[in-house]
Chains A and B, each alone.
Chain A
Amino acid sequence: QVQLVQSGAEVKKPGASVKVSCKASGYTFTSYGISWVRQAPGQGLEWMGWISAYNGNTNYAQKLQGRVTMTTDTSTSTAYMELRSLRSDDTAVYYCARTLPIDLNAFDIWGQGTMVTVSS
């Protein structure tokens, strides 16, 4: 079946970096984009950015520009999200989500989420 499986929980110190993986299966990886969405504890959803699995083009949320990098490895159908210079307010569950080709705003398959805790 179509699914996205993310890497496990991470605990990082302020200033460090984290890289979360998202392995796709059950569909043609390069036919869809992957978006990343995060959710701080008890809070709403926040869009972080999108990457085309076809050609690697990216769009990032302005507030994360310069700290976030999204990449894909088509040989393993895996997407990655790296966030640098971590702060306490980066503590959140990070989700990857398959994005419909014609609608950057439609996320039809979601990963299970990866908890990232930033604490000294």
Chain B
Amino acid sequence: QSALTQPASVSGSPGQSITISCTGTSSDVGGYNYVSWYQQHPGKAPKLMIYEVSNRPSGVSNRFSGSKSGNTASLTISGLQAEDEADYYCSSYTSSSTHVVFGGGTKLTVL
């Protein structure tokens, strides 16, 4: 059981927008602006897409955006493309002794 809760799967058609949620508690997502999102294609290492809730690293498409409300963070992908099909993980800093917790991951299918 992961510390952060994500939907197991989401899907969308090319060109559409989708949102993946990541729900935690006031000890992690709700308490800090240190939420990150990672994209992972099969057999590959994860790739940082969003950090500090809404910041995009250099080179990441502006089709990816992040936000947070209370204990829930969200990743929105607009203008879906076939190459976006992957697993997505959220993570957050936490006040617990674990320091960093991940969500269970969401499989994005582009129909």
Give the residue of A45, A61, A112 whose beta carbon is less than 8 angstroms from that of B98: A61
Residues B99 and A45 in contact, CB atoms below 8 Å apart = no
Question: B residues within 8 A CB of A35?
Answer: 100
Interface string of B19-43 (1 = CB under 8 A from A): 0000000000000001110100000
A104 to B: closest C-beta gap in Å? 6
* Number of residues on chain A facing chain B (CB within 8 A): 25
- Which chain B positions have C-beta within 8 A of A112? 45
Instruction: Digitize A30-56: 1 where CB-to-B-CB distance is under 8 Å, 0 elsewhere.
Output: 000001010000001111011000000
Could you count the A-B residue pairs with CB atoms below 8 Å apart for me: how many are there? 72
> Pick the contact of A103 from B45, B52, B98 — CB < 8 Å?
B52
Question: Which residues does chain B contribute within 8 Å of A59, judged by CB atoms?
Answer: 99
Contact mask for chain B residues 45-85; partner A; CB cutoff 8 A; 1 contact, 0 none? 11110011000010000000000000000000000000000
Is B86 in contact with chain A by the CB < 8 A criterion? no
Interface residues of A in 85-119 (CB under 8 A from B): 95, 97, 100, 103-108, 110-113
Q: What is the CB-to-nearest-CB distance from B47 to chain A, in angstroms, rounded to a whole number?
A: 7
Complex: A103 Cα to B92 Cα, angstroms: 10
The docked-state distance in angstroms from the alpha carbon of A63 to that of B57 is: 31
Can you list 29 contacts pairing A with B, beta carbon distance less than 8 Å?
A35-B100, A44-B89, A44-B102, A45-B38, A45-B46, A45-B91, A47-B91, A47-B101, A47-B102, A50-B99, A61-B98, A62-B96, A62-B97, A95-B46, A97-B46, A103-B34, A103-B52, A103-B93, A104-B99, A105-B34, A105-B36, A105-B91, A105-B92, A107-B36, A107-B48, A108-B48, A110-B45, A111-B45, A112-B45
B interface residues (Cβ-Cβ under 8 A, vs A): 2, 34-36, 38, 45-48, 51-52, 57, 89, 91-93, 96-105
Instruction: Please list the residues of chain A having a beta carbon within 8 angstroms of any beta carbon in chain B.
Output: 35, 37, 44-47, 49-50, 59, 61-63, 95, 97, 100, 103-108, 110-113
